[in-house]
Amino acid sequence: MKKLNQYLDIAPEVQEALKAKKPVVALESTILSHGLPYPENLDFAKKIEDIIREGGAVPATTAIMNGKLKVGLSAAERERICNPEGVIKVSRRDVAVCIATGRTGATTVATTMIIAAAAGIRVFATGGIGGVHRGGEVTMDISADLQELAHTPVAVVCAGAKQILDIGRTLEYLETMGVPVLGYRTSSFPAFYCRESGHQVDYNAKDYKEIAEIMHAKWTLGLEGAVLIGNPIPEESALDFDAMERVIEGAIEKANAQGVHGKKLTPFLLKEIKEVTEGESYESNLVLAYNNAEVAAGIAKAYAELI
């Protein structure tokens, strides 16, 4: 019988850091292949790793390649995953097919959590998590990210969830599933491009140490699942909530008219928003992801001091 370890391919730098219990931060790759345009995403993929290094942690971008769960990519592998040609978006249900058929896969938040946990990485930085889609109470389009947050022990630093989602229901779902939702120096759950969603977090955490202590307490107590940290986009890069609302309503109408649903819906809406906001949202997207990487590195360092 094959063990999980036989599917893991951990880069030497990451392996060494894990062995020495040094801070490591996982990064997803769907944001590369399906979230940001090629070839501009190449710069982003490198810069976000540099920010984690500057923050005193080792970056581990995840992907699926040649039947392996990759933890930490070489420059050539990063390039491969940035070019969307032939790269499939892999959430939990797609992992087995991707592995068994030897396809190249970009990992969503859910899959990155699975890989991070398998490798022993406790902190992960992303842009925004998936959630309950608007109308999800009828369509049942609820991202697998939420179930993963319920069960897999990784701290996920995000800029909240996009306004394309039903943020209120997303938070209700997380509450039901027992996921602590923290704000990093905010009491409002952020809405990706906007610092406030109109919904509150469970707890406003004052610093990295406090977040690390919450993670430590949760997992020492044997409570399974994630700790979610909402880190608002820097003020100067934030977009106007009401203007975004109008753009998103238009994008959702277009998706409905074209019958776009399932795993294609999130990338479709993101692309529409980018086109309508003429790249303004693109710049903000980069800034918030870098900001999350910096905070994740700080949390990983604080956590490493506790264990």
Residue 45 binding ligand PSU, by CB under 6 A = no
Binding to ligand PSU (CB under 6 A) within 192-211 occurs at 192
157/269 with CB nearer Mn ion = 269
CB 155 within 8 A of CB 123: yes
Residue 59 binding ligand PSU, by CB under 6 A = no
Residue 70 binding ligand PSU, by CB under 6 A = no
210 a catalytic residue = no
Binding to Mn ion (CB under 5 A) within 107-146 occurs at 141
Choose which of 9, 49, 77, 145 interacts with ligand PSU (CB under 6 A): 145
Tokens matching residue 73: 């990519």
Residue 94 binding ligand PSU, by CB under 6 A = no
72/130 with CB nearer Mn ion = 130
Binding to ligand PSU (CB under 6 A) within 153-172 occurs at 162
Q: With CB cut-offs between 5 and 8 Å by kind, which of ligand PSU, Mn ion, none does residue 197 bind?
A: none
Torsion on CA atoms 245, 248, 253, 257, rounded to nearest 10: 180
**Angle, vertex CA 260, rays to CA 254 and CA 265, nearest 5:** 95
Shortest CA distance to 162 belongs to which of 107, 83, 244, 61? 244
Q: Least distance in Å: CB of 108 to ligand PSU?
A: 3
28 a catalytic residue = yes
Q: Which residues bind Mn ion (CB under 5 A)?
A: 141
Residues marked active site are found at: 28, 162
Q: Which residues bind ligand PSU (CB under 6 A)?
A: 28, 30-31, 34-35, 91, 108-109, 127-128, 130, 143-145, 162, 192, 263, 266, 270
